[in-house]
Structure 1
Amino acid sequence: MTVNGYIYVRPEVVNMLRTFTGQVELVRPAVTRFATSFLTIQRIHKQKNNLRKMFTSPEWSSSKWAKESGGKQVQSIILMISFWRSIIDILKIFGPLVRVLRLVDGEKRLAMGYIYEAMDRAKEVIIKSFNEKEDKYMNVLKIVDKRWESQLHRPLHAAGHYLNPEYFYYNLTIAEDGEIMEDLYKTMQRLIPSHEEQDKIIDQLTLYRNAEGLFGIEFAIRHRKIKSPGKLHNI
């Protein structure tokens, strides 16, 4: 039984909740189910004190719900220290991932050149939030990596990462990353079947890597962190 599931099918309990939260709802709808779950958990965390006050109040104690097994169970959950610790752990994990999904769904930036880096940073944030204790985050990252590989990661993302000057020129390891380079060449072979055109691109990649030619002029250098890759290459 979930806290929300119990409360929101009982109008009287909902009214009591709103009294203690100042009319703030626990459920916060979003575009995706994943985001809705995260925002709802975040809202529950913010209302922790009010929820604990409600389930220890005379209003609750004197209600018929406090005497039912379901009500007792929900009250026990709300007053359980381990429940709130779990909430914090969930927020540590899902917060960075929600930011990645917002990037994918957003329109302000072309996500292709940013999602690879965003996912790496999200995992770094998760690791640091658990004080780099592997037993706390390792199983979670395995699940994240599995979903990343099966649903989000494509060679085109790695190619976009490589061709994003905002990251490429400030992270020397990108050009040495075997996975990124393999995906870059896979993308090139798939999108450009002509060997002649591929050879021209290889020459351009050399210029890009060494910041030579047009890639080394003052204008291009100045706009590395200003323009998104797609817009910069189209100028």
Structure 2
Amino acid sequence: MESWSIRGCTIMSDMWTDIKERIFINIIGYSPKGDVFLNSFECSDVSKTGLFLRDILELVIERVGSEKVVQLISDNTSNYRVAISLIMEKYPHIQRIKCAAHGVQLLLKDIDAEIPWVKEVFEKAKLIVTFMYKHETVLALMRETTNNRELKKPCKTRFASNFLMLKSILEVEDLLRVMVASAEWRANRHCNSEMVLRLVDGDGATSPFLYEAMQRARNTIIDRCNRDSSNYKMILQLFDSRKNENILNHVHVAAAFLNPLLMCEGKISYYNDDVGEAMVHIVRTMIFPHDKKQFVMELKKYYEKDEKLSNDISKEMIDSHPHK
């Protein structure tokens, strides 16, 4: 919490229901130094209106110190939208950031629902996973062959789980091919299953990094579709729609630009339209009037790579960064 005076604080809030059907609103403070549980309010018998949420969040903001709060993160329900809009009217420097994880889930849900060939791949993968875990002898042989590596199972409410399931299959694909070619497999009574024959006949992420990661993901979609627009056009439409509506905010773009690991390696430029718009937004809404001149001067030194910033120590810190 001591770091909030220097780096600022993100307030995160969501609702959850326990096994006794009681409803709680949890509020957590976050900064690069870690998470701090701030408060929990039981609201089972209260109407969770925007005004009610506004009062609860404002109580916490005042306790933390409004000047320390950079952004509020919540789900995309209408009552939270109203609450945070009212808070932003009182504290214009505080930004509303939608939950990026939820936005990515919605994007993956769109892809699963709208792209036929993707849905077909998921269905085949589910058959493989179901088959492996349905038969004890098959499961034992799979675990022996893969050195006890497990396949991920899909979850109906988490569409990212479909992609994680595919990833888990691809990670052991070569080992599974060895398995179905082994004498142990041929001796298994399930060895002629058509489901497994489909497998062997087949062909084989934080705010400062989110914007660049989304750009990289977009390019990867195009490359993985062999740059065939008939395969990726609809996916990109869904991708761009969710990216702009539910995932990215000006703050994410600005954070990417202010991330020296990306900027110094030329992965992001101030002259990118998104970056220019984001930095104007930051100066206009998040920097207090008496700090704006100093902020712009420091920003200029940053993107011109002032020698005091680009010294050997800073370069060594960039080279040793874990995301490098």
Normalised TM-score (structure 2) = 0.46
Q: What is the aligned partner in structure 1 of residue 199 from structure 2?
A: 78
Q: What is the aligned partner in structure 1 of residue 317 from structure 2?
A: 227
* Cα distance change, pair 38–152 in 1 and its aligned pair in 2 (3 A): farther
Q: What is the aligned partner in structure 1 of residue 307 from structure 2?
A: 216
**1:199 corresponds to which letter in structure 2?**
K
* Structure 1 residues 167-178: aligned runs within 5 Å: 167-169=262-264, 171=266, 174-178=269-273
**1:202 corresponds to which letter in structure 2?**
V
Q: Does 1:113 align with 2:208?
A: yes
* Cα distance change, pair 121–17 in 1 and its aligned pair in 2 (3 A): closer
1:116–1:158 contact (8 Å) kept in structure 2: yes
Q: What is the aligned partner in structure 2 of residue 158 from structure 1?
A: 253
| Deviation at residue 55 of structure 1 after TM alignment | 10
* Structure 1 residues 136-151: aligned runs within 5 Å: 136-151=231-246
Q: Does 1:9 align with 2:134?
A: yes
* Cα distance change, pair 200–77 in 1 and its aligned pair in 2 (3 A): same
| Deviation at residue 177 of structure 1 after TM alignment | 1.8
Residue segments in structure 1 that go unaligned for 5+ positions in a row: 89-100, 105-111
Separation (CA, whole Å) in 1 of partners of 2:298 and 2:195: 63
RMSD, aligned CA: 3.7
2:151–2:168 contact (8 Å) kept in structure 1: yes
2:143–2:150 contact (8 Å) kept in structure 1: no
2:283–2:292 contact (8 Å) kept in structure 1: yes
Instruction: List per-residue Cα deviations over 1:140-161 (Å, max 9, x = no partner).
Output: 4444434433443221111112
| Deviation at residue 28 of structure 1 after TM alignment | 5.4
Separation (CA, whole Å) in 2 of partners of 1:182 and 1:78: 47
Q: What is the aligned partner in structure 2 of residue 43 from structure 1?
A: 171
* Cα distance change, pair 127–57 in 1 and its aligned pair in 2 (3 A): same
Q: Does 1:27 align with 2:151?
A: yes
Q: What is the aligned partner in structure 2 of residue 97 from structure 1?
A: none
1:4–1:26 contact (8 Å) kept in structure 2: no
1:52–1:78 contact (8 Å) kept in structure 2: no
2:218–2:236 contact (8 Å) kept in structure 1: yes
Instruction: List per-residue Cα deviations over 1:88-111 (Å, max 9, x = no partner).
Output: 3xxxxxxxxxxxx1xx3xxxxxxx
Q: What is the aligned partner in structure 2 of residue 201 from structure 1?
A: 295
**Percent of pairs identical after alignment?**
15
Separation (CA, whole Å) in 1 of partners of 2:315 and 2:244: 28
**2:292 corresponds to which letter in structure 1?**
Q
Separation (CA, whole Å) in 1 of partners of 2:264 and 2:147: 50
| Deviation at residue 7 of structure 1 after TM alignment | 2.1
SS of alignment partner, residue 270 of structure 2: helix
In the alignment, which of 184, 199, 204 is matched to residue 279 of structure 2?
A: 184
Is the helix fraction higher in 1 or 2?
Answer: 1
Instruction: List per-residue Cα deviations over 1:112-141 (Å, max 9, x = no partner).
Output: 333322332343344345443333444444
Instruction: List per-residue Cα deviations over 1:46-82 (Å, max 9, x = no partner).
Output: 334224326995323xx2x46xxxx744144235x3x
Separation (CA, whole Å) in 1 of partners of 2:299 and 2:143: 60
**2:316 corresponds to which letter in structure 1?**
I
| Paired positions, count | 188
Instruction: List per-residue Cα deviations over 1:136-191 (Å, max 9, x = no partner).
Output: 44444444434433443221111112223343355397222222111222233332
* Structure 1 residues 49-68: aligned runs within 5 Å: 49-53=177-181, 57-60=185-188, 63=189, 65=190
Normalised TM-score (structure 1) = 0.60
Q: Does 1:127 align with 2:229?
A: no
| Deviation at residue 8 of structure 1 after TM alignment | 0.6
* Cα distance change, pair 4–40 in 1 and its aligned pair in 2 (3 A): same
